[in-house]
Chains A and B, each alone.
Chain A
């Protein structure tokens, strides 16, 4: 459970009036305001094409906003440090030509990070339960295990902010539920901040402390929903009436957003 004062504290990163036009004329985002506070687990929920991924890429600095600004808290780790941001893509995005260990080691290798890299890499692998697979190559792993490697790589720097772009969308439901639970455990253990993009109402409610519903064309925030259920959340939460009620509210919010085109 994130400490209550963390929720009230100033945002770790904020998008202020962010707009994004692509060269082909598509307006992906317009007037997007989003604050992410330290320790939060924020889910960005919306239909495909609503600019969720674009927003995530802008936070990561992989894409520049056409208008508006991304403001980082003065207390945030400097940009040059490898441990400001971890990113998990929709696909595992592993280097097929090298081992699981070297894949997880990549962020440290690129940054020339100080300290005992070996222990950190092994800790990251143990964290996702793949300690025994360090010498395996990505193609020898299942889809769920590849995604675990991808998560281990994102967490090996113990980043302040973890950005995840529909990471479990391609996995089967059993694997997805397992990874949802494991992700929550890692989030609590590392006390990091997560922004999680998804188009699944159930996933967003299960994972997050706050669901941000986005409208499409152009992408912007339509409404927000606090998920007050305490962590740790287990299987009992997934089958509880409280969870069902929250899912209904999120689903209704999404339906209204879709019906009205998300106009405020």
Chain B
């Protein structure tokens, strides 16, 4: 009985990994076949094999661009993490500050970044503008989640802290921030993907060639030159970067919470 359940779980886990791979392989095969049978030229639709060849052939150029975009993303993410958590803590400590500034944080969040980016590029140097875009898109989920987390303290634990005369600093450091940690990490996981999006949007809006041009710029540039295989190759790299960012942050989340939080507990009982 128990062994049967284990076997079913094992098969389930296998299928969870195998099925998406099968779908990918099938999709790529159909794509490759259609391009070959219909003899579609690569500037209309490149076959997967051609895209892969381009990726290898243009690696020097693309890897450099990848590095630029990843650096921007990483910087934007760090600023968003620091800004989001920092603002949430300040809001939590001084309510009037929250009343004064929170609406503007919401405005920053709801205004589409694609529309803001061109303006930022007018007023800021290009690198700063790209960074600002990544930050604007990414900081809000960190702020919102951290705020929620700081308010989710167990009331009895709060009473215990006041019973022992804990100072505001002690309550923040020993009670509120640890309570909020799962929420903060959840916000960071969203922010990682969003800072990549912010960086890409700003790069595309920036448009002009520069010494250090990111992947999004490569996509735009290749589009103008009808170098469609390179567009796909750059897009592939962006997707992979997004996936790696997501799983890295998930790993951090798991490592930080595995000993105590429900969300990180394994299935074993």
Contacts and interface: CB of A to CB of B under 8 A. Distances in A.
Interface of A: 57, 60-62, 80, 82, 85, 87, 89, 91, 93, 95-98, 106-107, 109-111, 137-139
B165 A87 contact: no
Contact of B259 (A61, A106, A137): A137
Interface stretch (B44-52, B78-86, B156-164): B156-164
23 contacts: A57-B159, A60-B163, A61-B163, A62-B159, A62-B163, A82-B165, A85-B163, A87-B160, A89-B159, A89-B160, A93-B156, A96-B260, A97-B179, A97-B181, A97-B259, A97-B260, A106-B160, A110-B161, A110-B164, A110-B170, A137-B259, A138-B260, A139-B259
Contacts of B166: 110
Interface residues of B, number: 21
Nearest to B171: A110
Given A62-B159, A89-B156, A95-B157, A110 B165 contact: yes
B163 A91 contact: no
A89 B154 CA distance: 12
Contacts, number: 53
B261 interface: yes
A80 B178 contact: no
Given A91-B156, A137-B260, A106 B165 contact: no
Given A91-B156, A93-B156, A106 B164 contact: yes
Interface of B: 154, 156-157, 159-166, 170, 174-175, 178-179, 181, 259-261, 265
Contacts of B162: 62
Given A60-B163, A61-B163, A80-B165, A93 B157 contact: yes
A97 B163 contact: no
A87 B162 CA distance: 11
Most chain A CB within 10 A, of B170, B179, B260, is at B260
B30 to A, nearest CB: 48
A58 B166 CA distance: 18
A60 to B, nearest CB: 6
